[in-house]
Each structure stands twice: as C-alpha cells, then as structure tokens.
Structure 1
C-alpha cells in the first residue's frame, strides 16, 4: 500500500544586529518548521514522523546535521548565506526514511513550500495517524467488498430457507409452540438480529432475514417436525 501526504515547510527569517563575515550580506536569524496538510490544505502536527534531521551547509561544521523529535520540528539558526538543505523525515516503519530538499533563501520574511511525501506499506498505527488528514487508498474498496460479501451471504441464506414459508408456518403455531420459538430466538439470536417485544400489545416481532443461519435451521426444523411446512 502506498499513501501520499503533503507537508508544508514554513521558513521565517529576519536581520539581527551581529557582524557578518560578508559585509554585503547581513546576519540573519532563520527557522524552518514542518506541518502535515489535510486535503483542504489545513495544517496539522506532523506526528507521522518520529524525528526530523536537517542537513545544513558544511560551513555549520559540528552543527551540520541537526535532529529534532518534537513537532513542529523547528530548526533555528543564524547565518548570512542562502543554500539548499536536505531534510530526512523518519517514521517507525522499517526503512521509514524520506528525504526532501528545501531552498533556504532570504527573499521574503516568511515563505512556504509544499512537498509530497510517500509512505510505503505503513503500519496500522501509522495508518491511524494518516487517516486523520485524508483517505487511505483501497479502504473504500475494502468496505465495498465487505458489503458485497454480506449481500452474497444473504442471498445464500435466502436460497437455503424459504422465509415466506417459515413466516406462514409460524402463523400456524399454537400459543405453547409459539412461546417455545420465541425462547429459541432469545437464546440463539445474533447481535444484529432485529426483534421487538411489545408486552402491552402482547406482540413479538422478528425480522427473519436477520436470524443467524443456525437459528434459522432450528426454527425451520421445528416447523417441519410440526408439519407446518414441508
């Protein structure tokens, strides 16, 4: 399974009163933050990542590789030069590392860049996080398949039992036998079996199509034994 999401890199920068090694270029304080976007473009915490490593210009020396583990993974530094950095995005998945590239420039005080990140075969935990910002491929197909299987099971059930005959046979029961069937239903019904017991009116209603197969068989055999159906 492949899931794609957009992330937003937000860069902010401003001049600071510090001497620059390049007199024609003022010193800057800059920062980069990372957000996850939903389908409408709204920002969310990028909690699909466990850590983010910014790989800066070699001139940063011992601070060339900077790693952050808390949202929004803010990388904040000082410098005078523009450069392209690579950013490693990590998840808990095996081989869960994605690298994007970001142009650090000082053309605007604040600018945004949107990148697409691909998640390959994400775990259920990661899928749960990604589901908050958009659909998961094939999930709708899976739901449709489950619905189709349920419909197919119902067709098989209808073929096994003639519910019209069953309803007709139940209508022929005397009070004692009817109470036995009602108890049979109470003891063996499934969670989705529809029943309604109107005590005041002395009526008991059941949707025969919602009976589990074993209960349908029990009632069918009971009616056959009484010769109410054949």
Structure 2
C-alpha cells in the first residue's frame, strides 16, 4: 500500500536589532521552521505520523543536527545567513524520508509544501493517516462492497491492540499468523504481498469476525494483548 500526503513547512524570521552583527551588513535574525501534515482540503494538522523530525542545519552551527519529537517539530535558532537544509522525517526508528528546505530572509513568513510517501504503513500508522484522508484500502473496499470505512469503536475487538500485538511477534510466529490469514482470507479482505521486498500488509478492519477472533485468541495466548 502506498499512501501520499502533503506536508507544509512554515518559516518565520525577524531581525534582532539589539544583537550586534557578526558579519557587517548581515543583521542577526531569529528564525523558526515548523512542520504540519495537510488533509484533503489543504488544512494543516499535527504531523503525528512522524515519530521524530531531524533538521540538518549548516555545519557552521554549534549544534548542526537538531531533533524534535513532538509536533509541530519546531526548530528555532538565531543566525545571520541563508542556507539550504535537509529535514529527515522518521516514521519508525530507521524509516525516514528527507525534505529539502531553503531558509531565506526574503519574507518574514513563508510556507512551502512537499509530498511525502508512506509505503506499507503499519495498522497504527494507517489509523493516524486516516485522520487526514482515506487510504487506498478504504477506496478498494468501497468499490468492492460499498463499505463506508473502518469498523466503529464499539466493536468487540480492539484493532489497535491487535496491530500492536502483531508488531511484537517474533519472525517464526509472524509467519504462522500470515499463513493463518491466508488460509482464512475472504473476498472482502484487503491484503497486499510484495514478494521482492518480503513485505506483507493487511487492513485489519477488512477481516471477517471469525478471523479477527482467531488472531485475538492467538495473540492473547502469546501474552501480546490482554
């Protein structure tokens, strides 16, 4: 599953008249860059889809690599020069995508938008991404069965707990679960297997009640959920 979203970088900067110039003709400035994710209507939302965001600043900074873990991941500094930075957005500990950003002083406030891609997002990440728009699996279910979206929260099983439990399984047990899913798959289920990359993804909300019960019971037996 490939999910695309747009992110908006918001830059604010202003001159610090009380600060002495380090380089003649270039006043000291205070600047900040914040990151938001946009919904279908272009409205900004907290970028909870990222675990952390790292700004790679000009090497002349005392601390050129700065990491933030809470939206809107605002990076705030002082300086006199413009420069091009890269911003690394992490969805997991190792999975990241980089966004280029031109820090300039032509305007006190300016915004830039970039498209980011999420490949085979986890169930937990899918739920976060649904807050800003539908996923391909949602559209497929609508086409196949006229479904209206994920099951309601008052369903018997907690799908977020199932997703978290699956993420805790060791490789051998995870292969057993994949076999269990394939053995009990139905026409309405959304499953995607990428043999070349060894990736397997499923929309848990598309599973039958009987398969959901099997997974729940299996994860409970393994102590992954309670």
Give the structure-2-normalised TM-score.
Answer: 0.62
- Aligned position for 2:108: 109
| Equivalent position SS for 1:3 | strand
Q: 1:78 aligned to 2:78?
A: yes
Summarize the Cα distance change of 1:29–1:83 in structure 2 as closer, same or farther, 3 Å threshold: same
Q: 1:173-212: per-residue Cα shift (whole Å, max 9, x none)?
A: xxxxxxxxxxxxxxxxxxxxxxxxxxxxxxxxxxxxxxxx
Offset at 1:146? 4.2
The ranges of structure 1 where at least 4 consecutive aligned residues each deviate by more than 4 angstroms after the TM superposition are none
> Secondary structure at 2:105's aligned position in 1?
coil
Q: Which residue in 2 is equivalent to 1:53? A: 54
RMSD (CA atoms): 1.5
Q: 1:132-166 CA deviation, whole Å, 9 max, x = no partner?
A: 10111142222433469xxxxxxxxxxxxxxxxxx
Q: Which residue matches 2:69?
A: 69
Task: Output the CA distance in 2 between the equivalents of 1:2 and 1:80.
Answer: 40
The structure number with the bigger radius of gyration is: 1
Aligned pairs for 1:1-230 (under 5 A) are: 1-16=1-16, 17-61=18-62, 63-92=63-92, 95-146=94-145
Unmatched tracts of structure 2, length 5 or more: 148-226
Bigger fraction of residues in helix: 1
Partner of 2:203: none
Check 1:146–1:13 CA distance in 2 against 1; reply closer, same or farther (3 A cut).
same
- Unaligned stretches of 5+ residues in structure 1: 149-230
Please state whether the residue corresponding to 1:131 is helix, strand or coil. Answer: helix
Per-residue Cα deviation, 1:90-130 (whole angstroms, up to 9, x for no partner): 012x7420100000000000000001000000001001010
CA deviation after TM superposition for structure 1 residue 22, in Å? 1.0
How many equivalent pairs are there? 146
